[in-house]
């Protein structure tokens, strides 16, 4: 440890620590704009100048490593004066349009000038003005506000691996420029906007909508992919106006992709259903909730009493509570085992193959910490942007080794130690070709996509197991926000909650669709009719849905459901991390799926327990292994990883039922198309892959 003194306080720090970080640990703030933890050092803004004894000039604390016996003063007269003049310089051409600037109220420049700045400027020259530019549907740039801290340039190049931003011109004319002349060809993730300390980069969804202090901030879990990013939704007048991860908490820290940051607008799409629909004389017509619920309950009771066939299809986007309650409703309330959902990853085989091993399921944190990663059969940057971000950060900070075995070019190619091309389903040969190199790794995280399933997955686990690596973890990649939760909660015809086998297996999803004997098909938040034909033409179809999808259009009763941003509960990410949902907005007329199911149960006079999130979750905690998690942790917006089972799964997995959606960064099954922002951004497939150096 290195001993130094900062402002008279004795501080100890490991060698190599920067003075700015050492001071922060000691509770001393050194102001800075360009310094940003985790990215390369820039020393561009000169705000962090400090006085160091025996050094002739003021030093930038953001690039100065601690030294033994160093005496640092952060509030010396020379430092105070330097900060004042630095800010005066930064404001030379700054328009000071704080009253109309999006950033006003949460602007770092504003805060710094308030705290350290001079009351007046000595500059009397005309300010250099450049008009605002739009680079994409979601990114706007206002050059005069820019203080050229290079944060956006670095987060795009280093953090995202895209490198779509740069600084052009020089001197007073310097400004940030997008990748292709006048427009951006990039991920449109908005990380540059989030990281901008001033209002230079603004977001197409949020700009000029509100003042930051007029919003309520609701931290919830993104409802798009299975990475389970925490997103903080900014609400004004009950309308979601912004998505970011304001406090950088949760498993994703500062990261969000285009979906998490902008695609929340599906919630207010004009196509949202706001009243129950019932088929009257062959046409769907709006009816009251009581009429719709009574009709559903009457039909359910009638079919149940005469021993008719039910089919129940659950969702990969509804909460754990809803999924648990749905399977309970189906099994106990309706007495059917025909329950399934659309599977997108072979977690069943993975759990079975890992029987007896503990701590073998990888988390989002592991992607950042494990010394080596093997990415098989997936394009992470497209399908799992958070995990891709974590792997890149791991490489940047820890020089981790990444091996890719995939069909096409993937973004990991630019830094991975080995790139093997293998067609989907034939990855195993590629993995085996890496045997010698993999065997030398002390730790390995294996991330595999949906093409690795069934026997191929068993082979992969056996192969990696045979390498003798001390610590191996696996991540089974899945499609949607609660794909994993749907599995864990037992939305399966042959497995109940916690992968416990049921006495008599029911029909799987395609079998239900192909069956001609269904009397009732109950679909909660899924759209199977987009891909399957319903052979039971006479079946009474009940659909709980946000939009009039292909499935809802065929229904006899459609019950309008709330979106994930309009309800509470928990979801489980693909890596098995349980997080809370928090209600951020409301859609008039729609109800959360749990409430809808509860009301149907009530109407049918079934006793399935209290249909409140807290009560159902208590039941999950008792029933499902691994879900007995500390409630305060998830209540405070953090994630807890579950391990649902440690032992053999009694039934054979059905790899044929795994049907991934193959989403890209800009699509998300049937939900993404309802987001105006997500559909407005241009996709440049080539731009997703940085050429190799």
User: For binding to another protein (CB under 8 A), which residues are involved?
Assistant: 157, 162-170, 177-181, 690-693
Query: What's the min distance (Å) between Cβ of 188 and another protein?
Result: 15
Q: What distances in angstroms separate CA 189 from CA 143, 203, 551, 576, one per listed residue?
A: 20, 10, 31, 24
> CA-to-CA distance for 660 and 483, rounded, in angstroms?
11
Nearer of residues 153 and 386 to another protein, judged by Cβ: 153
Q: Do 578 and 633 touch, CB atoms closer than 8 A?
A: no
Q: What distances in angstroms separate CA 557 from CA 287, 337, 541, one per listed residue?
A: 10, 22, 7
Nearer of residues 139 and 658 to another protein, judged by Cβ: 139
Nearer of residues 85 and 134 to another protein, judged by Cβ: 134
> CA-to-CA distance for 174 and 141, rounded, in angstroms?
13
Query: What's the min distance (Å) between Cβ of 32 and another protein?
Result: 23
β pairing state of 443-448 and 418-421: unpaired
Query: What's the min distance (Å) between Cβ of 115 and another protein?
Result: 33
Nearer of residues 160 and 445 to another protein, judged by Cβ: 160
Query: What's the min distance (Å) between Cβ of 179 and another protein?
Result: 5
Give phi and psi for 477, each to the nearest 5.
-75, 135
Compute how many other C-beta atoms are within 10 angstroms of the C-beta atom of residue 471: 14
Query: CB burial class (10 A; 0-12, 13-18, 19+) of residue 285?
Result: exposed
Q: Report the SS3 class of residue 261.
A: helix
Q: What distances in angstroms separate CA 54 from CA 51, 71, 72, 559, one per listed residue?
A: 9, 9, 10, 74
Nearer of residues 169 and 288 to another protein, judged by Cβ: 169
Nearer of residues 299 and 392 to another protein, judged by Cβ: 392
> CA-to-CA distance for 476 and 453, rounded, in angstroms?
10
Give phi and psi for 500, each to the nearest 5.
-85, 130
Nearer of residues 89 and 684 to another protein, judged by Cβ: 684
Query: What's the min distance (Å) between Cβ of 184 and another protein?
Result: 9
Q: Report the SS3 class of residue 32.
A: coil
Query: What's the min distance (Å) between Cβ of 690 and another protein?
Result: 7
Nearer of residues 402 and 583 to another protein, judged by Cβ: 402
Nearer of residues 163 and 655 to another protein, judged by Cβ: 163
Query: What's the min distance (Å) between Cβ of 62 and another protein?
Result: 22
Query: What's the min distance (Å) between Cβ of 164 and another protein?
Result: 6
> CA-to-CA distance for 237 and 214, rounded, in angstroms?
9
User: Nearest-5° angle of CA 145, CA 146, CA 151?
Assistant: 145
Q: Do 502 and 347 touch, CB atoms closer than 8 A?
A: no
Nearer of residues 473 and 690 to another protein, judged by Cβ: 690
> CA-to-CA distance for 186 and 610, rounded, in angstroms?
47
Nearer of residues 57 and 170 to another protein, judged by Cβ: 170
Query: What's the min distance (Å) between Cβ of 173 and another protein?
Result: 9
> CA-to-CA distance for 490 and 570, rounded, in angstroms?
15
Q: Do 406 and 421 touch, CB atoms closer than 8 A?
A: yes
Q: Do 53 and 32 touch, CB atoms closer than 8 A?
A: no
Q: Do 223 and 546 touch, CB atoms closer than 8 A?
A: no
Pick from 444, 462, 486: which is nearest to 354 by CA? 462
Nearer of residues 178 and 644 to another protein, judged by Cβ: 178
> CA-to-CA distance for 528 and 521, rounded, in angstroms?
11
Query: What's the min distance (Å) between Cβ of 688 and another protein?
Result: 12
Q: Which residues pair with 11 in a beta bridge?
A: 4
Query: What's the min distance (Å) between Cβ of 315 and another protein?
Result: 40
Query: What's the min distance (Å) between Cβ of 157 and another protein?
Result: 8
Nearer of residues 165 and 509 to another protein, judged by Cβ: 165
Query: What's the min distance (Å) between Cβ of 181 and another protein?
Result: 6
> CA-to-CA distance for 162 and 608, rounded, in angstroms?
51
Nearer of residues 358 and 692 to another protein, judged by Cβ: 692
Nearer of residues 186 and 233 to another protein, judged by Cβ: 186
Pick from 231, 225, 261, 228: which is nearest to 671 by CA? 225
> CA-to-CA distance for 429 and 504, rounded, in angstroms?
38
Query: What's the min distance (Å) between Cβ of 74 and another protein?
Result: 33
> CA-to-CA distance for 472 and 445, rounded, in angstroms?
6
> CA-to-CA distance for 188 and 162, rounded, in angstroms?
10
Q: Which residue has the tokens 């190619």?
A: 413
Query: What's the min distance (Å) between Cβ of 141 and another protein?
Result: 13
Give exposure, 411-444, as e/b (b: 16+ Cβ within 10 Å): bbbbbbebbbebeeeebbebbeebeeebeebebb
> CA-to-CA distance for 143 and 137, rounded, in angstroms?
18
Query: What's the min distance (Å) between Cβ of 168 and another protein?
Result: 4
Q: Which residues pair with 166 in a beta bridge?
A: 177
Token pair belonging to 405: 């075995």
Query: What's the min distance (Å) between Cβ of 516 and another protein?
Result: 57
Nearer of residues 122 and 170 to another protein, judged by Cβ: 170
Q: Report the SS3 class of residue 71.
A: strand
Q: Do 320 and 571 touch, CB atoms closer than 8 A?
A: yes
Nearer of residues 413 and 488 to another protein, judged by Cβ: 413
């Amino acid at each position: 440890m290195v001993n130094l003194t900062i402002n008279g306080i004795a501080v100890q720090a490991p060698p190599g620590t920067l003075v700015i970080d050492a001071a922060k640990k000691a509770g001393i703030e050194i102001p800075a704009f360009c310094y940003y933890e985790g990215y390369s050092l820039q020393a561009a803004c000169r705000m962090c100048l400090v006085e160091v004894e025996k050094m002739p000039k003021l030093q930038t604390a953001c690039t100065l490593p601690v030294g033994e016996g160093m005496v640092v003063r952060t509030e010396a007269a020379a430092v105070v004066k330097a900060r004042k003049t630095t800010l005066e310089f930064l404001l030379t051409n700054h328009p000071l349009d704080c009253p109309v600037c999006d950033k006003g109220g949460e602007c770092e420049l504003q805060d710094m000038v308030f705290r350290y700045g001079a009351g007046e400027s000595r500059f009397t020259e005309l300010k250099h003005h450049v008009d605002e530019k739009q680079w994409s549907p979601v990114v706007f740039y206002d050059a005069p506000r820019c203080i050229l801290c290079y944060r956006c340039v670095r987060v795009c190049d280093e953090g995202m691996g895209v490198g779509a931003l740069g600084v052009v011109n020089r001197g007073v004319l310097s400004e940030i420029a997008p990748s292709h002349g006048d427009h951006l060809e990039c991920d449109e993730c908005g990380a540059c906007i989030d990281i901008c300390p001033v209002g230079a980069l603004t977001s197409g969804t949020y700009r000029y909508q509100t003042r930051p202090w007029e919003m309520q901030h609701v931290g919830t879990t993104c409802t798009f992919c299975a990475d389970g990013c925490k997103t903080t939704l900014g609400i004004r007048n009950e309308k979601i106006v912004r998505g970011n991860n304001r406090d950088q908490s949760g498993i994703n820290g500062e990261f969000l992709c285009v979906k998490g940051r902008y695609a929340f607008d599906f919630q207010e799409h004009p196509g949202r259903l706001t009243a129950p629909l019932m088929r009257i004389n062959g046409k769907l017509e709006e009816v009251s909730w009581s009429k719709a619920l009574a009709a559903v309950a009457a039909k359910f009771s009638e079919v149940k009493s005469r021993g008719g066939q039910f089919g129940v299809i659950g969702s990969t986007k509804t909460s754990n509570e809803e999924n648990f309650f749905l399977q309970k409703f189906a099994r106990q309330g309706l007495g059917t085992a025909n329950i399934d959902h659309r599977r997108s990853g072979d977690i069943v085989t993975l759990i079975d193959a890992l029987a007896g091993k503990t701590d073998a399921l990888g988390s989002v944190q592991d992607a950042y910490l494990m010394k080596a990663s093997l990415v098989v059969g997936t394009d992470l940057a497209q399908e799992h942007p958070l995990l891709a971000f974590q792997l890149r950060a791991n490489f940047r900070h820890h020089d981790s080794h990444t091996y890719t075995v995939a069909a096409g070019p993937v973004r990991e190619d630019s830094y991975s130690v080995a790139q093997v091309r293998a067609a989907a389903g034939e990855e195993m040969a590629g993995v085996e070709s890496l045997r010698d190199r993999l065997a030398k790794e002390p730790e390995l995280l294996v991330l595999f996509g949906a093409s690795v399933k069934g026997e191929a997955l068993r082979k992969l686990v056996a192969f990696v197991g045979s390498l003798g690596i001390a610590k191996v973890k696996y991540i089974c990649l899945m499609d949607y926000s609660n794909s994993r939760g749907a599995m864990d909660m037992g939305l399966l015809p042959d497995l109940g909650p916690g992968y416990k086998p049921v006495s008599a297996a029911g029909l799987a999803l395609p079998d239900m669709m192909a069956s001609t004997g269904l009397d009732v098909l109950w679909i909660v938040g899924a759209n199977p009719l987009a891909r399957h034909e319903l052979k039971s033409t006479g079946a009474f179809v009940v659909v709980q849905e946000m939009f009039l999808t292909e499935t809802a259009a065929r229904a006899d009763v459609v019950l309008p459901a709330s979106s994930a941003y309009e309800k509470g509960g928990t979801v489980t990410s693909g890596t098995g991390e349980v997080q809370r949902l928090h209600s951020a907005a409301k859609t008039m007329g729609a109800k959360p799926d749990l409430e809808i199911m509860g009301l149907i149960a009530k109407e049918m006079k079934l006793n399935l327990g209290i249909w409140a999130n807290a009560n159902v979750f208590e039941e999950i905690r008792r029933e499902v292994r691994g879900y007995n998690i500390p409630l305060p942790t998830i209540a405070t917006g953090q994630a807890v990883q579950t391990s649902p089972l440690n032992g053999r799964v009694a039934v054979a997995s059905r790899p044929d039922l795994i049907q991934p959606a193959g989403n890209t960064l800009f699509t998300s099954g049937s939900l993404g198309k309802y987001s105006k922002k997500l559909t407005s951004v241009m996709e440049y497939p080539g731009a997703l892959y940085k050429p190799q150096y």
